[in-house]
Amino acid sequence: MKKQTRKKPVRKVQKVEVHSLFTDYDIHLFREGKHFNLYERLGSHVIERDEIVGFNAIGLRRRGFSRPAIAELKQAFHTVYFTPGNIRVIAAEALTDGTFATPEAKRFLEFFSEGKRSFARARRAGMEEAEG
């Protein structure tokens, strides 16, 4: 009996154009170790490591926090970070005035009111433009 052979699929080869964001001058500087703006070509940007970006509601949902707790934590977050003044004092006042009822929000505020270290201040997108 004759053995059946399968035909190998034919691959179509497409011509690939060479495209690079690097100019010859970029490559020259890189080889010399003098390309000080390489981040501009690679798309990287300098960021502040300790910057407060925002409230992570998705992470809290994934951890099983209830909707009322998340809503109150979000309100406490905005109270602490976006009210002008001392963060410790703001958190202590929010704790004593009875605005927040959930244990999660109270614990959040206690963290700030009883903290011994300094806290980074959150920035809003519009605030940077106004300052600059």
The fold for domain 57-131 equals Udp N-acetylglucosamine O-acyltransferase; Domain 2 (1.20.1180)
Question: Residue with structure tokens 């433009």?
Answer: 129
Cα-based distances in Å from 18 to 21, 22, 23, 41: 10, 11, 12, 16
pLDDT of residue 71: 95
For residue 56, give both structure tokens: 């992570």
Which H/E stretch holds residue 88?
helix 87-96
Which residues of the chain are in CATH 1.20.1180.10 domains?
Answer: 57-131
What is the token pair recorded at 12?
């179509």
* Residue 108 half-sphere exposure toward CB, CA atoms < 13 A: 23
For residue 55, give the nearest of 37, 38, 69 by alpha carbon.
Answer: 69
Q: From first to last of its 132 residues, what are the pLDDT tens digits of the chain?
A: 666 777 777 776 666 556 666 788 888 888 888 888 776 777 655 656 666 667 888 889 998 999 999 999 999 999 998 889 899 999 999 999 988 999 999 999 999 999 887 887 776 644 443 444
